[in-house]
Amino acid sequence: MKTPQKPDISSGPRRRLPPAAWAFIIALLLSVFLFFLPYLLSPISHLRLFFFVPLLLFILLCFAAPFFPGWQFFLRTIMHGSRKGKQAALTFDDGPDPETTPALLALLDKHHVKAAFFVIGDKAAHYPELISEILSRGHELGNHSLSHDPLLMLRTSATLFREIEECGRVLEASGVRALAFRPPVGIVNPRLKPVLERLGMFCVGFSVRGGDWGNRKISGLSERILSRVRPGDIVLLHDCRPAGREVSEWLKEVEAVITGIRRKGIEPAKLSALLGRELMIKNK
């Protein structure tokens, strides 16, 4: 399969305005309307004092939206697959890790489950053999930035581009081009959309998480996920050493998630199958 060319964002069909742009236009129009309304209806001239409220609400919305990517405010973020089927996808962030990845791969093999691993570029560069093992066992890879900076979305566009591109280069050295990007901590910003377009990538979030705080809180992890999971969900887990706990305890929770999902009549599936689009392209 040929590697597609990066899209030229300066040409091609006109793209739809994101919700953020429409929200600004509406807020601006409402502010103008409230400012000039007193000239038409003098009895309610006091409304002019509130002309700034729509713009203030827009600013507050811009501050809140990065933490809720499901709003699709700045860019389209895939949060789940079709709800009509009987599948869900398991995804693992923050790896690879020599203390957890091999055992996790063995567990997934035991239950015949294929997962998506959104890996950190720096870790992938240190453990290329683990990346190769993930691929050889039929799992999928996604881009989770180079350094997993939790404040990445506060950095410049150039830094954001470099973090994603360099993680992609690490994965390309392992033989794949990642198309899917998951932002660190799940936070987005308005600069992410043009960066991903320039790289020919798309953004993937999640619809169910166990609140494990990067495997810092694994007690009850499976219960929290199983109480909420339903068909079409993208389940967020982590592939890194659990803080203050044994790896075996974490594996039991992951295994409980797999068996519990199946008891609910939901089959763990590849993320690409759930979404109906490829997450990565294997290089020749």
| Cβ burial, residue 47 (10 Å; 0-12/13-18/19+) | middle
| Global confidence as pTM | 0.85
How far apart CA 219 and CA 143 sit, in angstroms, is 28
User: What is the predicted pLDDT for the residue at 162?
Assistant: 98
User: What is the predicted pLDDT for the residue at 117?
Assistant: 98
The answer, yes or no, to whether the previous bond of 96 is cis (omega within 30 of 0) is yes
At 9, the pLDDT band (50, 70, 90 cuts) reads: very low
CA distances (Å), 135 to each of 80, 92, 95, 282, in order?
A: 23, 14, 14, 10
How far apart CA 72 and CA 79 sit, in angstroms, is 10
> Of 18-22, 156-160, 192-196, which range is least confident?
18-22
How far apart CA 91 and CA 135 sit, in angstroms, is 14
- In this predicted model, what pLDDT tens digit does every residue of 169-185 receive, in sequence order? 999 999 999 999 999 99
The residue with tokens 């060319």 is 5
Percentage of the chain lying above the pLDDT 70 cut:
88
Which residues does the annotation mark as catalytic? 93, 238
Q: How is residue 41 written in tokens?
A: 């209806």
What average pLDDT does the structure give for the chain? 89
- In this predicted model, what pLDDT tens digit does every residue of 27-73 receive, in sequence order? 777 777 776 766 655 555 566 667 778 888 878 888 888 888 888 88
Sequence-distant (≥ 6) Cβ neighbours of residue 159 within 8 angstroms: 152
- 179 contacts 200 by C-beta, under 8 angstroms: yes
Alpha-helix residue ranges (DSSP H) falling in 120-231: 121-126, 128-136, 157-173, 192-199, 221-226
Q: 158 vs 74, which has greater pLDDT? A: 158
pLDDT exceeds 50 at position 132: yes
